[in-house]
Amino acid sequence: MITGSLVALITPMKSNGDVDKQKLDELIEFHLEAGTHGIVAVGTTGESATLTYEEHADVIRQVVETVKGRVPVIAGTGANSTHEAIDLTQRAKQAGADACLLVTPYYNKPTQEGLYQHFKAIAEAVDIPQILYNVPGRTACDMSNGTVLRLTGIANIVGIKDATGDLSRAKELIEAAPSDFAVYSGDDPTAVGLMLLGGKGNISVTANVAPKQVAQAAEAAIAGDKNTAEKIDQSVSILHEKLFVESNPIPVKWACAELGLCDFGIRLPLTVLSNENHDIVREALTQAGIAK
């Protein structure tokens, strides 16, 4: 089972929007040195919505090749077309990813039965561990705990990224799901709370700029060390808030560039962080003790 701090890795881009392959390699090494437990490539934070099919597959392949098995690589392969999700998941398997992360179909607004059939079809088509991803705030699609529990009966559906921020709902799911089914947080402000309830990790945006702290907090929370986990988490809690002052990944990409980890490149329809928010994010980095 994959556990711990799993960074929702940005896809670094040059100022013209091209994927910056050199900076991608450097970011991966930065995270491995800081103790990040796994890399999530080309998820929402990785701008999956604006990468081409070939770029999507290339980034996954590069991450796998650079990581060289040192930590698990989870590939974002979700789509609002079941056929496309299957194709992306097949490509991720061919590239050597350890697991795939599949977001609920956005815009379509499928029924709960449609969600079940969608994920069932992908799982049956591609023999690779698959993690569901529920983020209704971005997709206008909310997968119920009942549907998730139905899907736990499919052998290679091994977990879910719960980005609802609803700890009571997460608690119900953790208690009802099989012991080998992992519930991960996808909401940094409530991630430690979810892990203290029995969650297995945090697929984190904040980890892009504070990988050491997020990894240490995850380790403590999973071990049940509430005081240590909450103390470490508090030190970066301002980032959990201010890295969402505009739509993700706008603030976190700007923060990474501000820290010298990459250029300021981002793709339309997303734009570089607004000038009026520069000081807000910069101050958050300073308060968290990670600004240069």
| 133 is a catalytic site residue | yes
Whether 169 has a pLDDT exceeding 90, the answer reads yes
User: What pTM did the predictor assign?
Assistant: 0.96
Neighbours of 280 (CB within 10 A): 16
Q: Which of 23, 93, 116, 133 is catalytic?
A: 133
Share of residues in the chain with pLDDT > 90 (%): 99
Q: Would you kindly state where each structural domain of the chain is located, as residue ranges?
A: 4-235
- Predicted pLDDT at 207: 98
Catalytic residue among 161, 200, 242, 253: 161
Please report which confidence band the pLDDT of residue 189 belongs to, taking 50, 70 and 90 as the band edges: very high
Q: Would you state the pLDDT for residue 291? A: 78
Question: Positive or negative, the Cα torsion across 250, 253, 256, 260?
Answer: negative
Binding residues for pyruvate, as ranges, are 45, 203
Higher confidence at residue 291 or residue 23?
23
- For a pLDDT cut of 70, what percent of the chain falls above it? 100
Q: H-helix or E-strand containing 4?
A: strand 4-8
- Tokens encoding 166: 């609803």
Alpha helices by DSSP H, 68-187:
82-95, 112-125, 136-139, 145-151, 167-176
- Is 161 in the active site? yes
Classify each residue of 223-254 as buried b or exposed e, where b means 16 or more C-beta atoms within 10 Å of its C-beta: eeeeeebbebbebbbbbbebbbbbebbbbbbb
Please give the average per-residue pLDDT across 228-242, as a whole number. Answer: 98
For residue 172, what are its two tokens? Answer: 């119900």
According to CATH, what is the number of the domain 4-235? 3.20.20.70
- Tens-place pLDDT, residues 72-99: 999 999 999 999 999 999 999 999 999 9
Residues annotated in the binding site, as ranges?
A: 45, 203
- Per-residue model confidence (pLDDT) at position 292: 64
My answer on whether omega of the bond before 249 falls inside 30° of 0, hence cis, is yes
Instruction: Give the pLDDT band of residue 252 (cuts 50, 70, 90).
Output: very high
* Predicted confidence band of residue 263 (pLDDT cuts 50, 70, 90): very high
Confidence of residue 35 (pLDDT cuts 50, 70, 90): very high
